[in-house]
Amino acid sequence: MSAQSSLVRASLGGVASQTKRSSFLGDSSSKGSMSARTAIRRPSTVQSAFPVVIPSTRDSAIAARRKITTKAVREPEQSSMASASDKLAEYVANKGGKRVIRKVLVANNGMAATKAILSMRRWAYNELGDENAIKFVAMATPEDIGANAEFIRYADDFVEVPGGKNVNNYANVDLITEIAVREGVDGVWPGWGHASENPKLPTALAKNGIQFIGPTAPVMSVLGDKIAANILAQTAKVPSIPWSGDGLVANLTPEGTIPKETFDKAMVTTVEECVAAADRIGFPVMLKASEGGGGKGIRMSANKEELISNFDQVKAEVPGSPMFMMQLCTEARHLEVQIVGDEHGNAVAFNGRDCSTQRRFQKIFEEGPPIVAKPDIFREMEKAAQRLTQNIGYIGAGTVEYLYNAATDKYFFLELNPRLQVEHPVTEGITGVNMPATQLQVAMGIPLHRMPDVRRFYGRDVEGTDAIDFMNEEYKPVENHVIAARITAENPDEGFKPTSGGIERVHFQSTPTVWGYFSVGANGGVHEFADSQFGHVFASGKTREEARKALVLALKGMVVRGEIRTAVEYLVKLLETQAFKENTIDTSWLDGLIKERSISLVNDPHAIVLGAALFRAFNHSEQEEKTFLSSWEKGQVSTQGIAKLTSFPIEIAYEDTKYEFTCTRVGADEYEMAIGGKSILAKMFRRNDGTLVAMYGGVTHEIDGLEEPLGLRMTLDSQTWLLPTLFDPSELRTDVTGKLIRFLQEDGAEVQAGMPYAEAEAMKMVMPLIAQESGKISHAKTAGAVIGAGDLLANLELKDPSKVKKIINFSGDFRMSSVDEPAATADEKLTAAVDRVNKILDGFGGDVDEALANLYTAFTEQDETDGQSRWEKATSIMEGIVQRYLDVESVFESKSMDAVMATLIKGKTGAALNPVLGQVRAHSKLKERSKLVLNLLLQAPTLPQRVIARGPISWADDHAPISDSFVATIKRLSKLRGGDYGEVALSANAILQERRLPSLDKRVAELRKILAGKKKLLRPWGEAETGDLQALAESPTLAVDLLPSLFEDQDDLVRENAMSTYARRVYRAHNILDVSKGENGNSLTWKFKFRTYPDDSPVRTGLLITAKNISEVEQNFGSYLAQLKAAHGDATGPPVLHIAQTEQPDDGDWSLKMDQICAKHRDELKAINVKFVNCLVFEKFALPVYRTWHSNKDYAEDPLYRGERPTVLHLLELVRLENYKLTRLPTVNRDLHIYVGDLAAGTRAKDMMLRRLAHSRDTMSGGLERTLNKALDAIDIARMDSKAKGCNSTRIYINYLSEVEGDFTKQTQLLKEKVSEYIAANSTRLLNLSVDEIELRFRVSNELTPIRIMATSMSGNWLKVDAYREYLEPVSGRAEQFCLITNDGNDEACFFEPYPSAGPLQNKRA
């Protein structure tokens, strides 16, 4: 059968493939799905002295070359295959081989299969120029396929075999033989483990004419017996440990066995023979069963008495097995020689390895060369291994293992492993010999001295044919050192107990000195029937220390994410020990460390407590959900207690401390544990084996546990802890299950703390039960009673209750280790923010304000450069949020809970009830859900400013569109009925009303008619006269930012009036003396002065001029200044210059150019004392961009003015905030600013400051309350912004520009009363918003001096209300002082300073 047809079978799931699989699986009907998992991709072949271990980018090229599409593509490849086969046959013939192996069955999995295929493909490419010269068929269990095992991908074809234990698959000789025959392979590579040492396999294969890539069956059989192997070693003059068969030699019989009489002499069959042998070889001794293993049938005896006792135990543990005895070798190193024998009688020793780092006889590190042995001694060990190999006719790769005593330089034969070992890449790394390829060539009958790698190792011409005397000739010196670490799915904290589960990813970075290979890839896993080793990492250096350091760095950088535990961190700690660095270890070193737990990764108490709390929290949620589902399945409709699903207390007692957590379930698999002011977020899920996998602090943990009568027995990351239930200290309870033998004191007698009070029998052991407190005992059970853990055995009348150890409640800082996570991308932040909002909507816990703040921030950080794209994404997400709310609430709206539940659960059972649980859980959090949607609706008008970089004039116009479906969703929201939905429905309706405003085009057209004198201005208090520009400028409904769009109107009157209205509005708080148009129709001048008392403010001049772009401004700036100077005339106040650019894009370049223009004309600006130059850049319907170059900055741009009309800062008195570092928050109203102020010194909490201009004329008849309410609404919205976090104090400033009519003293008193009444009526809301100061500025009509109504908490009384008269400095217009107004209207104390820093009292209050 061709490899091509085999490939088609595997990848397409053809009939042949299904028929073949049915032979081994018994059912082919379900195997069609396999085709998706059989995509074949092979790694590249890399020219290197080290094995190819990490797939490279060349994989895709190879895969593409081998991809099958049509027959036309396959035929040339078959021709190529024939060519490769010819090359292989030619190679075998040229090298003196006897047989060609073209197709190999890999009868193994995991690391073995992966490494074999990689190495043999590399050899084929290096020697034949074609990595496809040999075809590989793999065996794969369902578990291997499900774990995404790499070796399946590397093979040309695979056969699915039964899963489970290896007797069903890789150790099943009959199955392997049947597959080998069926697939038409030439050879079988057994690897290590499984069937690799079963002599039945080479026998069965030989009967079918298939080559076994390994030793012959008789040799394998005799080496499998420990007694026979030692006799053979002695025959080959290999030193052996003193043992019961000292001096015995023998050659194999024709049947391949040791003669019986010789074999029997090595055995010990009676106690007497054991004692005699021990006396001869010397204690301590090891008594072993020849057929034992895995710790069974082996006992150490230090003296004659122990030996007599152990004889029967060994005999009983392995019945019928021959027994022998050997001296216990202490302080020994485990050294081994890599040997290869061929069928021509040759035997090569490829240096060796030091494998002394072991736990329970399992290797952890391997290294080579074994430098602990002197070179001449190790050469003796190599020759002894070669003699043994030749004497027994060993063919293939094997390992001769020794115990070596560094102190005496003596070595002793341990065993000969008749297979390749997992650590063979160490030998490859120091010799350059490809071991699996060498095995293959030996199997093809090629003599060792003809193999290129071998000849290269001995410094010979690789194409030569001359013989090599391997026993006497020396190979080239080894010039480097290699150390290997096994990467296993084992838990070092629990004696290297194997673990299984999925692997999300393995991150390992190869370097020129570090390499590795892995049997699993991304989204793979280690299943319960696989070997625990899934990776092998190797490091090379010129010296051992260089290699050690390279390995440490590689392991520290390795990341394995998934459900398994690994020993990587433990390995690093071992490599860093002084003993390993100095190479003074022996085979018992690691077991000693494990026993002493000197390198144990011990958890601290807080880690243990948190693990227990999470375990109980998960189980609580799971049990509560099951209870509800079970109740509903029975037809019950109650939802009482549903809140317990998402919020509940958890109590843990450990080491005399009680920890009380508040658990909030913030997602289906997310839990937030709050304790001591700290919150810990954990994500958890339960694996199929019942273990909880918890991810918190950037680390994955495994938690398992059992609630026992005495408390929670928990395993955290494989370390077991008991967290006891809190019991009454006067109760004596047992912690064992068994039988109560007796009490040690009479009933009513005295018991002492720390002393036994009873004895119990458990598992044939008698153990004392210890009293924890002293007192008089009262028996609750009788002797002989069967007892269980937690049972009450007796009561104590405490001797001194005051001295009883007390449980204290935890207080202080709860510690939790964590690792830094990589910074999230903008998309990841948005995804996380949306996910958090959705989880709150789904009824899980969470901070609504924080969730929305994160969402709004994420909206603004999206990568799209186009603001409209960001806006579309934001509105789509908002629509989804509202829809999610409606999906649930539309079910419950205007209906009784019982009626809804009866409908929801009708006819449903089992999993069909899970959606009902989700709906009920979500509806139970209606208050939080409604708050979230309501806040979203309130924030909606500010979002275009945040999301669209420049933004439209109003969010409601056509330039910040929302889809028709979103409008329809908001309409559904507005129609929700019921008291629970009132506020949400009203807010939705308000948005719909705003959306009904005329479009900007229509609003501009209407404004144009008013400016042209064709329409009167409509006001709530009456119409204005046609052409009354002052009335228009003072109108609260004027959209000031629409005026610039008419600055270049074709109608001269419209253009002039637009500019005039703009100047009047901007300088509304000043006295405008006259306004006149310029000569060319593109400019306007006006005279103005501050409103001061007495009226001694100097006259000033303003010039507004339009230009198309910055180039025109640069060309004409000098003439602008000349025009301003001429208009200013004899006026003494500083003039101002306004420039409106009507066609200049806001690309940032224009402001840099303006910097240069102002710098160039700085002297001219100073000469006429220009206060500032304000530039306005606008595009149609977009918010104008304002920037100001100020004299205070030597005509550089002042960032405080950025984005604002220049007089706004004066009117909002932002200069009084100079103590603060200000951050502005988005607001809907352009005349309302909100800042977060942080003192530069950083000595106090942040303040939130609202500053507003009010244009309303109804201050005394509801206007004051309305503006304050809107201010609080704006603060409510602003507090959702992430920048507002940490604000503990809020200050409000409102400047009412319309005059209050009436008597000064009376109106002042009335204003104080109105503010006091407002504070009293809204105290709760003001407190919730942390309002500490309200400052309102008014002008009363019969007085020129403004007044301030101040409500402040700085004096110690909360929002104490006072009135102040304000005195202005005539030139700057700023307040010089505030004077307290008495009830009779006179001035009292006066002061002026910027907002003071809070003292200790204010900080404490905040």
Could you give the residue numbers annotated as active site?
419
User: CB burial class (10 A; 0-12, 13-18, 19+) of residue 1219?
Assistant: middle
Closest C-alpha among 1355, 1356, 1338 to residue 1347:
1338
Give the phi and the psi of residue 357 in degrees, each rounded to 5: -80, 100
Closest CA to 424 of 488, 347, 339, 360: 339
3-state DSSP of 1066-1087: HCCCCEEEEEEECCCCCEEEEE
Which of 397, 402, 422, 403 shows the shortest CA–CA distance to 485?
422
CB 564 within 8 A of CB 501: yes
Positive or negative: CA dihedral 58, 60, 63, 68: negative
Q: How far is CA 345 from the centre of its chain?
A: 58
Under 8 Å between Cβ of 1215 and 1251: no
Q: How far is the C-alpha of 140 from the C-alpha of 179, rounded, in Å?
A: 12
The three-state secondary structure class of 459 is coil
Beta bridge partners of 792: 733
CB atoms within 10 A of CB 429: 25
Identify the bridge partners of residue 743 per DSSP, sorted by sequence position: 758
Distance CA 655, CA 1200 (A): 58
Handedness of CA 720, 724, 730, 734 (dihedral sign): negative
Which ranges constitute the DSSP H helices of 1035-1148? 1052-1066, 1110-1128
**Of 901, 916, 888, 892, the residue nearest 625 (C-alpha):** 916
| Closest by Cα among 169, 111, 106 to 134 | 106
What gap in Å lies between CA 249 and CA 255, rounded to an integer?
17
Q: Which two tokens stand for residue 28?
A: 């082919």
784-787 long-range CB contacts below 8 Å, 24 or more apart? 784/739, 784/740, 784/741, 785/739, 785/740, 786/738, 786/739, 786/740, 787/734, 787/736, 787/737, 787/738, 787/739, 787/740, 787/760
d(CA 1330, CA 1324): 10
The whole-angstrom separation of Cα 194 and Cα 165 is: 10
Give the residue ranges of DSSP H helices in 224-369: 226-235, 260-266, 271-281, 304-317
Distance CA 1236, CA 1245 (A): 11
Q: How far is CA 823 from CA 347, 376, 816, 828, in A?
A: 58, 57, 20, 9
Query: What is the amino acid identity at position 641?
Result: G
Q: What is the DSSP letter of 1099?
A: P
Pairing of strands 187-189, 808-809: unpaired
Q: Which amino acid is at 714?
A: M
Q: How far apart are the first and last CA of the chain?
A: 84
Q: How far apart are CA 1282 and CA 432, in angstroms?
A: 61
Both tokens of 178, joined, read 């049947």
Token couple for 778: 């009262």
